[in-house]
Chain A
Amino acid sequence: MRFEHYEAGPFYDEMFDPRGQPRPGCALLARTLATIPDDEVLRRQRAAERALLHMGSTFNVYGHEEGVEKIFPFDMIPRIVPAAEWRLLERGLVQRARALNLFIDDVYHAQRVLADGVVPRELVESATSYLPACRGLDPPRGVWCHVSGTDLVRDRDGRYYVLEDNMRCPSGVSYVLQNRRVMKRTFPRVFEASRVRPVDAYPSQLLLTLQNVGPRDVAEPTVVLLTPGTYNSAYFEHSFLAQQMGIELVEGRDLAVRDGFVWMQTTRGLSRVDVIYRRIDDTFLDPTVFRRDSMLGVPGLMDVVRAGRVALANAPGTGVADDKVIYAYVPAIIRYYLGEDPILPNVPTFVCFDDKQREHVLSNLDKLVVKAANESGGYGMLMGPQATAAERAAFADRIREKPRNYIAQPLLGLSRAPTLVEGAVEGRHVDLRPYILHGDSIFVLPGGLTRVALRKGSYVVNSSQGGGSKDTWVLAAGGPNGGD
Chain B
Amino acid sequence: MLSRVAEAIYWMGRYAERAENVARFVDVSFQVMLDLPEPLGDPWAGVVGATGDEALYAARHGTATRDGVVRFLTFDAGSPNSILSCLRKARENARSVREVISSEMWEQINKWYLLVRDASTDQAVLDDPHDFLTEVKQASHLFVGIAALTMSHGEGWHFGRIGRLLERADQTSRIVDAKQALLLARPSELGASLDEINLSALLRSVSALEMYRKRHGRIAFQTVIGFLLLEKMFPRSVRYCLNEARRSLHAITGQPPEAGDTIVPERLLGRLGAEYEYASVDEVLAEGLHEHLDRLQSKLNEVGLAISQTFFAVRPHVQEPPAARTAAPAPETAAAVAAQTTAAGPVAAASPPAPAPQPTGAAQ
Q: Which positions in A face B, CB cutoff 8 Å?
A: 54-56, 66-67, 218, 229-230, 239-240, 242-243, 248-251, 253-254, 256, 258-259, 261, 263-272
User: Which residues of the partner chain A approach B91 to less than 8 Å between Cβ atoms?
Assistant: 67
**A267/B92 in contact, CB under 8 A:** no
User: Which residues of the partner chain B approach A266 to less than 8 Å between Cβ atoms?
Assistant: 1-3, 327
Q: For the complex formed, measure the closest distance between the CB of B136 and the CB atoms of chain A, giving whole angstroms.
A: 18
The residue in chain B whose Cβ has the minimal distance to the Cβ of A236 is: B98
Known A-B contacts A230-B95, A266-B3, A267-B155; the reply to A253 vs B325 at CB < 8 A is no
Contact among B99, B107, B316, B321 for A243, CB-based, below 8 A: B99
From A218, A259, A270, name the one whose CB has the most chain B CB atoms within 10 angstroms: A270
Contact among B2, B321, B360 for A258, CB-based, below 8 A: B321
Known A-B contacts A254-B3, A270-B327; the reply to A230 vs B314 at CB < 8 A is no
Contact among A56, A248, A254 for B98, CB-based, below 8 A: A56
B30 in contact (CB, < 8 A): no
Q: For the complex formed, measure the closest distance between the CB of B303 and the CB atoms of chain A, giving whole angstroms.
A: 16
Residues 78-120 of chain B: 1 if any A CB is under 8 Å from the residue's CB, otherwise 0?
Answer: 0000000000100110011011000100110010000000000
Q: For the complex formed, measure the closest distance between the CB of B99 and the CB atoms of chain A, giving whole angstroms.
A: 4
Known A-B contacts A230-B360, A250-B2; the reply to A269 vs B327 at CB < 8 A is yes
The residue in chain A whose Cβ has the minimal distance to the Cβ of B331 is: A268
**A271/B327 in contact, CB under 8 A:** yes
Known A-B contacts A253-B4, A258-B318; the reply to A267 vs B103 at CB < 8 A is no
Contact among B2, B159, B334 for A265, CB-based, below 8 A: B2
B225 in contact (CB, < 8 A): no
Q: In the complex, A268→B321 CA distance in Å? A: 12
Q: In the complex, A261→B324 CA distance in Å? A: 12
Q: Which positions in B face A, CB cutoff 8 Å?
A: 1-6, 88, 91-92, 95-96, 98-99, 103, 106-107, 110, 155, 159, 252, 311-312, 314-316, 318, 321-322, 325-329, 334, 337-338, 341, 360, 362
16 residue pairs of the A-B complex, CB under 8 angstroms, read A56-B106, A66-B88, A67-B362, A230-B96, A230-B360, A230-B362, A242-B99, A253-B4, A253-B314, A254-B2, A265-B2, A267-B3, A268-B328, A268-B329, A269-B328, A269-B341
The residue in chain B whose Cβ has the minimal distance to the Cβ of A257 is: B321
User: Which residues of the partner chain A approach B314 to less than 8 Å between Cβ atoms?
Assistant: 253, 265
Known A-B contacts A66-B362, A67-B88; the reply to A267 vs B1 at CB < 8 A is yes
User: Which residues of the partner chain B approach A254 to less than 8 Å between Cβ atoms?
Assistant: 2-4
Q: For the complex formed, measure the closest distance between the CB of A433 and the CB atoms of chain B, giving whole angstroms.
A: 24
**B334/A269 in contact, CB under 8 A:** yes
The residue in chain A whose Cβ has the minimal distance to the Cβ of B8 is: A230
The residue in chain A whose Cβ has the minimal distance to the Cβ of B99 is: A243
User: Which residues of the partner chain B approach A251 to less than 8 Å between Cβ atoms?
Assistant: 4
Q: For the complex formed, measure the closest distance between the CB of B198 and the CB atoms of chain A, giving whole angstroms.
A: 39
The residue in chain B whose Cβ has the minimal distance to the Cβ of A260 is: B321
With A229-B96, A248-B5 already in contact, 19 other A-B pairs whose C-beta atoms are closer than 8 Å: A66-B92, A66-B362, A218-B325, A230-B92, A250-B4, A254-B3, A263-B321, A265-B3, A265-B315, A267-B2, A267-B6, A267-B311, A267-B312, A269-B318, A269-B328, A269-B338, A270-B318, A270-B322, A271-B326
Chain A at the B interface: SS class: mixed
User: Which residues of the partner chain B approach A259 to less than 8 Å between Cβ atoms?
Assistant: 321
Contact among B6, B98, B155 for A239, CB-based, below 8 A: B98
Closest 10 CB pairs of A and B: A269-B327, A243-B99, A269-B337, A258-B321, A267-B311, A242-B99, A239-B99, A265-B3, A268-B334, A268-B328
Q: For the complex formed, measure the closest distance between the CB of A261 and the CB atoms of chain B, giving whole angstroms.
A: 7
Q: In the complex, A218→B325 CA distance in Å? A: 10
**B326/A272 in contact, CB under 8 A:** yes
Known A-B contacts A54-B107, A268-B337, A269-B337; the reply to A261 vs B92 at CB < 8 A is no
The residue in chain A whose Cβ has the minimal distance to the Cβ of B360 is: A230
Q: For the complex formed, measure the closest distance between the CB of A247 and the CB atoms of chain B, giving whole angstroms.
A: 9
The residue in chain B whose Cβ has the minimal distance to the Cβ of A65 is: B117
Q: In the complex, A265→B338 CA distance in Å? A: 12
The residue in chain A whose Cβ has the minimal distance to the Cβ of B321 is: A258
Q: For the complex formed, measure the closest distance between the CB of A463 and the CB atoms of chain B, giving whole angstroms.
A: 20
Q: In the complex, A267→B334 CA distance in Å? A: 9
Q: For the complex formed, measure the closest distance between the CB of B305 and the CB atoms of chain A, giving whole angstroms.
A: 16
Known A-B contacts A66-B92, A254-B3, A265-B315; the reply to A270 vs B321 at CB < 8 A is yes
**B103/A240 in contact, CB under 8 A:** no
From A56, A248, A261, A271, name the one whose CB has the most chain B CB atoms within 10 angstroms: A271
User: Which residues of the partner chain B approach A272 to less than 8 Å between Cβ atoms?
Assistant: 325-326
Known A-B contacts A67-B88, A259-B321; the reply to A267 vs B98 at CB < 8 A is no
User: Which residues of the partner chain A approach B99 to less than 8 Å between Cβ atoms?
Assistant: 239-240, 242-243, 249
Q: For the complex formed, measure the closest distance between the CB of B262 and the CB atoms of chain A, giving whole angstroms.
A: 15
